[in-house]
Structures are given as C-alpha cells and as structure tokens.
Amino acid sequence: MDHVASWLFLAVSCWGAWFTWNAFRPSRRWHLLAVSFFAAWFTGELALWHLAWQAVGASAFVAAGALRHWAGWAGLAITFVSWVGLVRLFLEARASASVIDATLSADLGLEDAPLERRVPLRQLVAPLYLRDRRVERIRNLAYGPAGRRNRLDVYRPAGGTDRPAPVLLQVHGGAWVVGSKEQQGLPLMLEMAAAGWVCVAANYRLSPRARWPDHLVDLKRALAWIRGHIAELGGDPSRVHVTGGSAGGHLAAMLALTAGEPRFQPGFEDVDTRVASCVPFYGVYDLTTLFDAVQAGPRVRRLGVRFQRMFMGTTLAEAREPFRDASPITWVRPDAPPFFVIHGEADNLVPVAQARAFVAALRAVSTSPVCYAEIPGASHAFDVFHSVRTANAVHGVRLFLEHVDGRARPRGGADALHKVPDGG
C-alpha cells in the first residue's frame, strides 16, 4: 500500500509541476494551444492557490506513508521545485505594479502615483467573486434592433451619481464568435463604478451569423445609445472612454480610430462616435499577420481558412485588403485619442508582437499620449478575475483614465451630440 501511495504521489507531483512549468512556457502549437492556455492562465494568476492545493496533497500523501519508498521522495523533490516556481510566479505577478508604474511615469508623466499597494484579502481568497455592494447594475437595456445581441448593462455607483460622471464602455472578447457582456472586464468596471464612473458593457452580433464589420457597427450603435441616453443614468455623454480584451481589444481600438467613418455607421452617420481614450487589453491589431503567428500543420491551416471565411466572408489568400481594412494598425492617425495598450508577455493566443507593432505605429503618428505596459508573465485574459496582477492592472488603468479624463475638455453638452438612431 505504501508503494501505491508513493507512485501516486510521484504522478500527482509531476502533474502539478507541469502546471507550473507550463505557466512559464505556454505552448504555441495549435494541438496544445487551448489546454496550455487554460493551464497557464489559472496557474499564473492563482499561483498561491496552486501552492496551497499542492501542499495539502503532499501532506496527505506523506501521512499515507508515501515517503517509505524512493518514488515518494522523488515526488516530494519535484513538489518542492514546483513550489519554488509558484513562488516565483507570484513574485512576478507582484512586479507588474512596478512595470505599470514605470509606464505611466514615462509615457504620461504620473510621477506621484506609485502603484505598489496591498491587494484586498477578499480578492485573494475569493478571486471569482465579482460583485461589489458599492455598485449598482442595470441589466439588458436595448440599444439596437438585433435582439439580445444588442443589449447592454450599466454599472454605476449604488444610489446614483451627484453629477454627470465619465463613462467607460467595455467590449468583451471571444474571437468574434463567442462571449458575453457578463463575462469580462468586471474587475475594472467594479473598480471604476465604485470610484464614481458609469460603466457600460455591451453585447454585439457574433460570427458566423454576423460578418465583419457588423461587430463594429453594433458597438458604434452602443456608443450612439450612450450619447443619447447615458445622461439619464448619471453619465456624461461627452466623456466616453472605451476598453476591451482580445477581440474586444481589437474592436475597442477600431472604435477609437474610426470615429465618424460613414461605412461603419450606416444609418447614423451624423452621430459623434469619438471617444476620449482607449485601453485595449491583449488585443489583435493586425489581422494580416495573426494567422502566421502560430505553429500549424495543414489541417489547422484549413481550420484557419474556415475561420477567416466565417468572420470576414473571405480569406487572406482571396482578398488581403479587407483584413488590412479591419486592422487597427491600418487606421493609426495623428488625431487618435490617448491609448493605454496592455499585453501579457507570456500570451500564447495573441502574440505580444501584435501589441509592439501597433504601439510603434501609433507612436509614430499620434499627437496624444500612447502608453504601453508589457506585463511580465501575464497570459491572455489575465484580468478576467481577481488576482495580484489584475489588481495592479486595474489600478493602473484607473490612474490613466482619471488623468486623461481630467485633462480632456467636453466637446459640448448632450444637445451637441446629434441624433441617435432608432432601436435604442
């Protein structure tokens, strides 16, 4: 029986060590991509939780006599190495504060706003608890004609606001084919709403039922709804900022860079769709290079072609220009609003090279601040639930948004923002 416990301990220790190792080196191979991503995501952001369950497991195996055989000692050694890695992951997550602080100091001149702070214990203990009694949520308001996909939620301070508050529009990700307004951006929206902002999370039509640019058109409709209705809920329609992650980061950047583009605003071309700033997380900025960034065989390349057709209605091989036209990097412009681009260094779904190239292109032409934080050790979607890294990123974004909003001048009141299209 002791031998069984020893070998089981060795097997479990190897399994736990793989989680730790994978968090440092997530795979970019297509057949391992999904498994590697989810394992790295939860391990990197919940390193202390992994250390805790490994410690409980090791204690149980030791109590069962696993150390009476060499396999048990091997398992214990592997477990100790895994713990060292988990501690390093946790320290790396804490270091994100200094990275974001340095970014805001260098790119925005915020010398007096250090990010080092203690993460609330409740966020470490209950990382998936995404509620805040200080915040009121108003659900499923219609903003357009496309049924439940044209619905949005509003988060605002409980009891309302004393004066018109700045607005943050959150765009969910999901590769343009899945996702919902209830699933992403919650730590940031709860933080901003508790600080007095009004936040809006919008659904939009998804592929394959929708084809580009339907996704962007819907979000411009949501912005038009904000212009016409957010004042009734305590928001200032002249102070709208936008954020989003992954596909939502792509759409947020497109929203910020295509203000007033008539073909993306069919039927409501006269609505002011400018935003005061944009904060894209781990976004896609160049669709022409996205599908070349992973190691793929013929079968996966065929799947990629199917996805391109499902999303864009065509493929790169058939027509490259639509993919360029749908890429934020194509739309960089001198009058772009301030940007704070955030990307994880360990992202194996959207390569960090996407963010680096976009930031370089934007900085080359934009007259507004362009901040860029490359978060060490961060995976894709690292900010979806509470973690040390999430808390640091959220706090940094709050500093950025409050600084930009404080310096921005409203472009006129609600009466100067043109008519809103039917459907909202």
Write the pLDDT tens digit of every residue in 355-381: 999 999 999 999 999 999 999 999 999
Q: How far apart are the first and last CA of the chain?
A: 68
For range 211-220, the mean pLDDT = 98
Q: How many CB atoms lie within 10 A of CB 333?
A: 14
Q: How many CB atoms lie within 10 A of CB 195?
A: 15
Residue 48 has pLDDT above 90, yes or no: yes
Say which range, 66-75, 94-103, 176-185, 288-297, has the weakest mean pLDDT. Answer: 288-297
> Looking only at Cα atoms, what is the longest distance across the chain?
79
Residue 148 has pLDDT above 50, yes or no: yes
Fold (topology level) of 96-286+327-416: Rossmann fold (3.40.50)
**pLDDT value of position 298:** 63
| Phi, psi of 380, rounded to the nearest 5 degrees | -65, 145
Q: How many CB atoms lie within 10 A of CB 414?
A: 15
Tokens read off for 38: 């989810």
Q: How confident is the model at residue 349 (pLDDT cuts 50, 70, 90)?
A: very high
**pLDDT value of position 341:** 98
Give the active site residues: 246, 347, 380
Residue 301 has pLDDT above 80, yes or no: no
Indicate the domain borders of the chain.
2-94, 96-286+327-416
**pLDDT value of position 160:** 85
Q: How confident is the model at residue 1 (pLDDT cuts 50, 70, 90)?
A: low
Alpha helices in 340-412 (DSSP H): 352-365, 388-407
**pLDDT value of position 226:** 98
Between 5 and 142, residue with greater pLDDT: 142
Mean pLDDT of the residues in the chain? 91
Contacts by 40-43, CB closer than 8 A, 24 or more apart: 40/346, 40/348, 40/379, 41/379, 41/380, 41/381, 41/382, 43/19, 43/86, 43/89
Compute the Cα dihedral for 116, 118, 122, 125 and give only its sign.
positive
pLDDT in tens, 379-421: 999 999 999 999 999 999 999 999 999 876 544 443 333 333 4
**pLDDT value of position 131:** 94
Between 150 and 406, residue with greater pLDDT: 150
Q: Where are the beta strands (DSSP E) in 1-56?
A: none
Q: How confident is the model at residue 211 (pLDDT cuts 50, 70, 90)?
A: very high
Tokens read off for 153: 């939620």
CA gap 152, 203 in Å, rounded = 6
Q: Are 349 and 33 in contact (CB under 8 A)?
A: yes
- What is the pairing mode between strands 135-142 and 151-157? antiparallel
Q: How confident is the model at residue 225 (pLDDT cuts 50, 70, 90)?
A: very high
CA gap 40, 153 in Å, rounded = 30
**pLDDT value of position 29:** 78
**pTM for the structure as a whole:** 0.92
**pLDDT value of position 412:** 42
**pLDDT value of position 248:** 98
Q: How confident is the model at residue 423 (pLDDT cuts 50, 70, 90)?
A: very low
Q: Are 340 and 397 in contact (CB under 8 A)?
A: yes
Residue 305 has pLDDT above 90, yes or no: no
Residue position matching structure tokens 């396999």: 71
CA gap 260, 258 in Å, rounded = 6
Residues with Cβ within 8 Å of residue 53, at least 6 apart in sequence: none
Query: In Å, how far are 17, 193, 337 from 180, measured between CA atoms?
Result: 33, 19, 26
Q: How many CB atoms lie within 10 A of CB 244?
A: 29
Q: How many CB atoms lie within 10 A of CB 255?
A: 26
Q: How confident is the model at residue 296 (pLDDT cuts 50, 70, 90)?
A: low
Phi-psi region of 191 (alpha: psi -120 to 50; beta: other; left: phi over 0): alpha
For range 202-210, the mean pLDDT = 97
Query: In Å, how far are 140, 271, 380 from 202, measured between CA atoms?
Result: 9, 18, 21
pLDDT in tens, 162-174: 899 999 999 999 9
